[in-house]
Every structure is written in structure tokens, then in C-alpha cells.
Structure 1
Amino acid sequence: MTVTLQDVAALAGVSMKTVSNVVRHYQHVRPSTRAKVQQAIDQLGYVPHSGARRLASGRTGMVAFALPAIEAPYFAEMAALMSTEVEGFDYRLLIEQTAGGIDEERAVLQGREHGLIDGLVFQPTLLSAPDIEKLRSTTPLVLLGEIPPPPAVDHVMVDNLAAARTATFHLLQSGRTRVAFLGRNHDVGHVTATLRLAGYRAALEERGAERGDDLLIPMTRFGAFAAEAAVSDALRAGAQFDGLICFDDLSAIGAMKALARSGRSVPDDVAVVGWDDILMTQFTTPALTTIRPDKATLVQTAFSFLRDRMGGERGEGRHALVGFDLVVRGSTAT
């Protein structure tokens, strides 16, 4: 016979509402009560009927994660973390890719998935706060990334200014005197690139290090191939640098290939720092020094905010900064 919610409640000696709260991972349940209900669930072999519960609640049990590029390792890792996080609360994850396009970002906010999802975690790259406020639907929303949010929208980010300063200080403290930046921002709408460049410049100024446009290596687009081409062009043009801060790990990997082809050794001739600590950074030769954002906490915080909003939380938007570390490996070893 099918075990019901009523059976669990009777065995545990609690109300059906309490059993429902435990099954739905409602946080305001006493640990002793939760343990008693869980024991009854285990003893009876009760399996929650998610479809019936969602029909009764008017919810779909689905949340969306909209990100710029699924093929980028950083976002792939973020999507995997988000999928694991939402499954822990009996949700399923819908992945949407905007490909860094303004029209795709608008479509995400205008509710093209209206009726299919209960909430949305979104990392825009181009939309401004007024755009987001104007376009967003009634679907609960949490933003990731560096674009400033509207007042009523929750937002989770890493301090890119501080992280870029930390990476640049690391190279200067190791004795590098001409530190270049790969990923100069040509697109004024790309807030992340702007902040990382600003942090790099601030560190150079604080330490009185050499600065100048000749130390800014432009990339018209992001990725390993673009980085390899940009560094190769800069070297052929006579660029001189002994340290390199890269926009992300893929850029750093492309830069290291260009340096090797030109006969320059990493780290003896040029020390290289990447960003994101994607898995493959441990397998480059040498292994890549990189900024490691706390991706797990970022995802957990974003989904915690979203659960609150899906549960009826109102009011001003909350803003959370998650931590980062500089992971020092062979590409900057001296």
C-alpha cells in the first residue's frame, strides 16, 4: 500500500503540516521534531509525491539559471553547483544561455519562461539597473555579477576590485616591475572587465609601479584563442613585461601558449595570473596561479535569497559579497 503523509504524521505524533514542513526543508522546525519526523519517514519508506505537492501549492518546482556562456568552464562549474544546490531543496534547474547578447538578456527578464519557473538566478553582462527594473517580470529574481542591481533585487558578487589588487600586489611583491593586463576593456558595457582593470591600476599606483597604455594588452573578445592572438601581437610589436594579469583562466592559458611560442619562459621571464580557478588550471604547465572566487558560497547565498523571495519575502534588495583567495602555483613561483 502507498504510504501517505497522514501515515507519517500519525507515527511521528505530529500534524500533517509539520510533516509537510520537514519534507519541504522548511527551516523553522525544531531539530528534535525534524528527527522524529525523519525517523517515521525512514521507517515507513515514505516518498513525497512532488507532483501532487506542486499542484497543490501552485508552484512548478523549477528554477532557472541564466548565464552568459554554458561552454565557458567557469559558468559550467557554476551551473553544476547550482544544480546540486537546488536538488537539495527538491527543485529542478533550467539552464538558459544568453551568449552575452542584449536581446537574449532582455528575453530572460521579460518572462519568456513565465509559468514554467518559480524563480530566476541571472548573471547579466550588458543590462543596466534601469533596464533590469523596467524589464523584469513578477518572477522572484536574484542577480549575480558586477552590474549594479535595482533597489528591490537581491544581488551576490565577488569584489573584483579587491581581487585584481591582490593579484597585482602578488606579482609586484615577487619582484616583477612591468606588470601587464590582458583584457583591456573596449566594451564600456562590460562591468566586470572594467572593475578588474581598475583594481589592477589601483595596485600599480599604490606601489608606484610602472604604468602606461603599453602595458594594456587589448582583447576584442574573450577566450583562449583571442588571448593567444592578442599576446602574440603585443610581443611582435615589442611589448616588454615580466608579469601578466589575465581577465580569466582561459585568457591566461592562451597567453601562456603565446609566450612559450615566442621563447619566453613562465614564470622565469613572465609570471602569469589567471582568474576563476577552473579545474584545468591545475593541469597546465606550469600550473596556473589564479584568483579563486568562493563559488560554492556564491551559489548557496544566491539560492538562499531566491528561496526567501519565492517564499514571499518582500522589501529592499539584499547585497552579499563572497570571498576569494589567490591560489599560488607554478606560473608565478620564483
Structure 2
Amino acid sequence: MARVRLTDVARAAGVSMKTVSNVVHDYPHVSAETRQRVQQAIDQLGYRPNLSARRLATGRTGMIALAIPEIDHPYFSEVSRRIAEEAARRGYRVLIEQTLSDTDAEHAVLRDREEGLVDGVIFHPVSMGAVEIGRLHKDTPLVLLGEAAIPLTTDHVMIDNVAAARQSVEHLLAMGRRRIAFLGTVDGDVTVSTRHRLLGYQEALSSADIDADPRLVLRVAGFSPEDSAEAVRTALADGLEFDAILCRDDKFAVGAMAELHAAGRDIPNEVALIGWDDTALATYTHPSLTSVAPDKQLLARVALELLIERMEGHIGVGRHRIVPHSLALRASAPPLA
């Protein structure tokens, strides 16, 4: 089937090619009646703009790159979907790139960015520091997500992980829990988010005049639910006493929950449990999982707004935005009576 051309749409709508082009590029000086007629012709014929022609005409591709550590991590999957939805509402498409937190892969996000392939980049770094990003970031507009690096020259969107962890522990303390474990620190982990969450955990204990017990910071071999289950299994076998667990993400909470069930521990009566990220997993566990809930929709919206402003010529020092979070209270650490 032959490709539908601009001239075919113009003929079907009874207008000039210039008018069709104005409608495609959403120029405001087209009457509503003409715009509707052209749009009907576009829909009927299945016309799709030629991206190469658009690039030549506007200097833009209509494409945004999103670089994340793991495509299959529930949090990043959900954030990616919201960014793609927000981008589509603004007329952009999203290319997703996985870095697996590898330093070379993260360097490539900035160093090997092909000029003209995308109009901007949203990037969640893990291994790279602020100075590295500042050195490698050149002309392509960039917005960062997460806590790993906050360069003065680059826009950045995150939640307050310290405050979120503190709020979670305060809720557990209000439930009467005093032996609260943190799950956990991962061997070889280079993420800043774990350190921030551990800091908030310790701050809440200190404010309650509870001495932090290093044994309650559980070490985990890896990032899978199986690894977190093994850490809880080891703690139970060692006779470690705890009546609550704050987990670094929902995947860890799922593993912990499975092991607590296997050990015959009642959730939440014997051990209360809080996850992190409020992913879809949280509503399908038994019992349902209380979880720190970043406002993912707002995070995506703010990141896109900052990026589009950069793409449209905004110049200045990096703008740093903290989006709100909440504690999604469910059965594993329920609301206070």
C-alpha cells in the first residue's frame, strides 16, 4: 500500500498543502472548521507525518529518550508508563534505554547521544556523580530523576527519601513497634537512595529515644525478592527479634512477606511490614502491603515540563524539584485505630 502523502490529505480536504502542514504542526491561525476538515481527512486516510521532513522543517524529531536502570523493575516500569503518557499528551514519543546501573552504559547515555536523534533526555543515573554528569552533558536538554547526582547545571526531580523513611518509621512507632528492622543494605550497592532511606530510619528512631541496633539493618546479597527472603530467613534463624520491617522497595517486601508466612509469623500482629514505591505489587500481596507512595504522575509531569522548557530554549542553573509522597496504608501496617 502506497504511503499517504501530504498532497493526498490536501486533495481530500479541499485545502492547500500549506494548510495541512499548519494543522499537522498545530499552528493557531487555522479556523476551527478547516482544522476539523483536515483532521477528518488525516484520520480517514491514515496519514502519518514524515519524521525526517519534520526534523528538516522544525529542527526537532518529536522524540525523547528515557534512560532508566531496569526496564523490568516495577517502579521504573510504572514511572516509564507515566512519562510516556505525559509525553504523548504533549505530542512526543519516548525511546526507552536500559543502563542496568552500569557506569559505562550511563556514560554512553550522555557521551554517545547522537545529535538530532532525540530532542531531550530524561535520565535516572545510579553510578554517575554530579561532576561526571556535568562534564559529559553537552547540548542535548537533560532532566535527571532520583537521588544519585544533583549537578548545579542540570534540572532534577526526586522525592525526599529521608522524610519518607522517617514518616514510615514514625507510623510503625505509633503502632507500638520498637524493634524495627531495615531491609536492607545490599552488597555492592552504589545507590544513594538506600543511604537516604537508612538515614531517615535512624533519625526517626533517634527522635523516639530508641538506640539504633546495627543488627536490625539486614544485609542482603542482591536485589531480588529471593535475596530479601533469604536475609529475613537468616535473621530469624539467628534469633534476631523484630516486630516491624521497613523495606527499601516493594520487591524486598514481597520476599520478606513470603518468608514471614513460611515461618508462621502473623502480619501485622507479630511483624508489621512497609514497602517502598507503592507499585502494583502492593495491592496483590496477602495481606495487602503498606508502602511509601511517590506521586509518580506528578513526577512524570514535572520532569516533562522542565525538559520541554529546556528544549524551547530555557537557560539557567539547574532547577531542583521535590515532588510529594504519601504513605499508602494497607493491612501490613494498617491505619491507627
Shared fold (TM-score, shorter chain, > 0.5): yes
Structural RMSD (CA): 2.5
State yes or no: 1:317 paired with 2:324. no
The letter of the residue matching 1:61 is G
Match of 2:64 in 1: 63
List aligned pairs for 1:54-203, cutoff 5 A: 54-184=55-185, 186-187=187-188, 189-203=190-204
CA distance in 1, matches of 2:91, 2:260: 48
CA distance in 2, matches of 1:179, 1:98: 33
Normalising to structure 1: TM-score of the pair? 0.88
Residue 115 (structure 1) shift: 3.1
The letter of the residue matching 2:72 is E
Unaligned runs of 5+ in 2: 1-7, 43-47
Residue 61 (structure 1) shift: 1.6
The letter of the residue matching 2:96 is I
CA distance in 2, matches of 1:213, 1:6: 76
Q: Select 1:41's aligned residue among 35, 39, 43.
A: 35
**Compared CA separation, residues 38 and 147, structure 1 to 2 (3 A):** farther
**Compared CA separation, residues 232 and 252, structure 1 to 2 (3 A):** same
The letter of the residue matching 1:109 is L
Residue 50 (structure 1) shift: 5.3
Q: What count of residue pairs does the alignment treat as equivalent?
A: 320
CA deviation map 1:42-69 (0-9, x unaligned): 2333647353333311222211000000
**Compared CA separation, residues 233 and 114, structure 1 to 2 (3 A):** farther
The letter of the residue matching 1:67 is I
Residue 207 (structure 1) shift: 1.0
CA contact (8 A) 2:186 2:222 kept: no
Say which is worse superposed, 44-53 or 223-232, in terms of deviation: 44-53
CA distance in 1, matches of 2:245, 2:31: 57
The letter of the residue matching 2:76 is F
Unaligned runs of 5+ in 1: 24-28
CA contact (8 A) 2:185 2:194 kept: yes
State yes or no: 1:308 paired with 2:309. yes
Identity %: 39
Residue 9 (structure 1) shift: 11
The letter of the residue matching 2:49 is H
Say which is worse superposed, 86-95 or 314-323, in terms of deviation: 86-95
CA distance in 1, matches of 2:54, 2:113: 24
CA distance in 1, matches of 2:223, 2:115: 32
Match of 2:9 in 1: 2
The secondary structure found in structure 2 opposite 1:2 is helix
Residue 278 (structure 1) shift: 0.6
CA contact (8 A) 1:118 1:140 kept: yes
Residue 192 (structure 1) shift: 0.4
